[in-house]
Amino acid sequence: MMMRRDRLFLVATLTAIFSADLYFILLPKLESVRHGPGRWCSCRPDNFTIPRLGGLTTPQLSNRTSLQPVDNIMTEPVTEGSKLEKLFAHPLYNIQTPGLTPEERLLEAKQLMEYYKRKASRWERHMKLYSEAAAASNITVSKHKVTFDSDANWLKFHLGINRYALYSRDDPAIGKLLRDMQNMTVIGADYTQDEKALKGACDCTQVVKPSGHHLKLALKMQNYAKAMFKPMRQQRDEETPEDVFYFVDFQRHNAEVAAFHLDRILDFCRVPPVAGRLVNVTGEVLHVTYNDDLRAVFFVSPANNTCFFAKCLYVCKTEYAVCGSPHLLEGSMAAYLPSLSIAPRISIPNPWIRSYTFTRKEEWEVNPFFCDNVKQLYPYNSGNRLLNIIDMSIFDFLTSNMDRHHYEIFTKFGDEGFLLHLDNARGFGKHSKDEMSILAPLSQCCMIKRSTLLRLQLLARPEYRLSDVMRESLQRDLLQPILTEPHLLALDRRLQKVMRVVQRCVRRLGEDKVVTKDFARYTAKPQAATKTIKVR
């Protein structure tokens, strides 16, 4: 009986090995023979290069305009000066597309103004009632002048959201919005909506808590702008310990800031604007908090620092608190997206979701052919959804963020809308390790957008080195340095690994099956911010 089991095991093992050889080696070679003997000549290890824009014949995506060849796009002359400015002046970062129709814009100006005027009136009524109640109870309430500005930068940000991106990289309102979040007076602090949904309770039998380690707050500015504040939990030079699971890791405020800058450098423009800020925990949070539950979690530590902790009961203890020094606390300020009531979004499980337990593995972690199954499923069997997930996996690999369990899209844009790259605070935890499993969508599907690939190639060149342009971009933030030098250098190392994965795919399948055309003509000079919308 034992001998039979041994034979069955041997047969099963040999079958698996033969199947892998057939899929990865024999079939691609047979297909190369069918396409002609010259197909593999340019892909030998000694002379392999990813092709430039010419010569790629992958069928275009369903929602793209007609594609036109771009000649010599990778050979633009480079002069001395700001690498970041030269990068953004490169033709790859100035793509010409048709004007946007109303259906391709997320919101109409009239609709947005009416909605927020109602919100402003509601806030004024609420503050009047709260002030009267506070006076009767001898509670001190800080009062600030509040003005609704129809020309506010956060409103311009909301109006600029379209089918292809959250914002235009050349839009001056984005830089002004970053400065607003760094300096504008805070008039209100409250829990975020997801923490309110918990109502102070966590299911402690689950490994993953929907809140707790986040300690995030919603802060309202004096012009009714709203930002999500994530306080500092970890020093810049601290690495996440090897024994800590990704799903219980700290959320890092500097990772949120760095992720916004990286997303912009990759020209995705799918992360809402994020800026670093020093917040006075007492004056800018406690004294403008009108939620009794939130006020109740503030205390003064033995060192006389003002502290607060999370609402979730699992970590409802002073040892999990964050503290000012004695009042000032640095953190990230992320601009809120438009309200769900006027711009609905849906959250969709990532096909490459990780197992949020200590032992179990997901199918993609054990099945190298997992992407073949995904390609058969709606909405990944057509359009650009799968390619957008691959974009997101490259972005997450560069930041080393393993916590991408869901992604969100605006419902107005349907299946062809871009993916929002939200919640990046678990990135940049380890500079000494590259988690290759994050690249599973790329390595298993062997697909990548041509625009993404060419920008990665550009950022690998010494003239535009990714670590250099990131360092320059991050120096503009109030809390710089945002990343330590080892984290910046890790970006260059990881970028090379992304390129090697693409090279292996091209060797195996051929460039026309791996690299997908996805954008139209470029312009030599940037267009005006009001007219430039990149194709994603």
Q: Which helix (H) or strand (E) holds 85?
A: helix 83-89
Q: Which two tokens stand for residue 385?
A: 């959804």
512 known ligand binder: no
Mode of pairing for the β-strands spanning 515-516 and 448-449: parallel
Q: Between the CA of residue 36 and those of 32, 33, 50, 509, 512, what are the distances in Å?
A: 6, 5, 20, 14, 14
Q: Token pair 């690998």 is at which residue?
A: 460
Active site residues: 403
Give the residue from 406, 281, 247, 411 showing the smallest Cα distance to 337.
411
290 known ligand binder: no
Mode of pairing for the β-strands spanning 186-191 and 217-221: antiparallel
Q: Between the CA of residue 495 and those of 44, 85, 94, 400, 492, what are the distances in Å?
A: 21, 21, 22, 12, 5
- DSSP for 149-199, written as a single string: -TT-HHHHHHHT-BSS-SS-TT-HHHHHHHHHHHHSPEEEEEE-HHHHHHT
230 known ligand binder: yes
6 known ligand binder: no
Q: Between the CA of residue 28 and those of 16, 21, 505, what are the distances in Å?
A: 18, 10, 11
Distance separating alpha carbons of residues 403 and 356, to the nearest angstrom: 9
Report the greatest alpha carbon distance in the chain.
88
Cβ neighbors of 106 (< 8 A, separation 6 or more) are: 158, 161, 162, 338, 343, 410, 412, 413
249 known ligand binder: no
Burial of 257 (0-12, 13-18, 19+ CB in 10 A): buried
Residue 326 CB neighbours (<10 A): 15
Distance separating alpha carbons of residues 62 and 56, to the nearest angstrom: 17
Residue 138 CB neighbours (<10 A): 6
| Residue/partner pairs of 386-389 with CB below 8 Å, 24 or more apart | 386/441, 386/445, 386/447, 387/61, 387/447, 387/448, 387/449, 387/516, 387/518, 388/418, 388/419, 388/536, 389/350, 389/351, 389/352, 389/419, 389/441
337 known ligand binder: yes
- DSSP for 354-408, written as a single string: ---SSS---HHHH-TTHHHHHTTSTTTTSTTHHHHHHHHHHHHHHHT-----EEE
| Residue/partner pairs of 469-475 with CB below 8 Å, 24 or more apart | 469/83, 469/84, 469/87, 469/265, 470/258, 470/261, 470/262, 470/265, 472/82, 472/83, 472/84, 473/84, 473/261, 473/264, 473/265, 474/257, 474/258, 474/261
278 known ligand binder: no
Please enumerate, by residue number, every residue annotated as part of a binding site. 230, 334-337, 408, 423
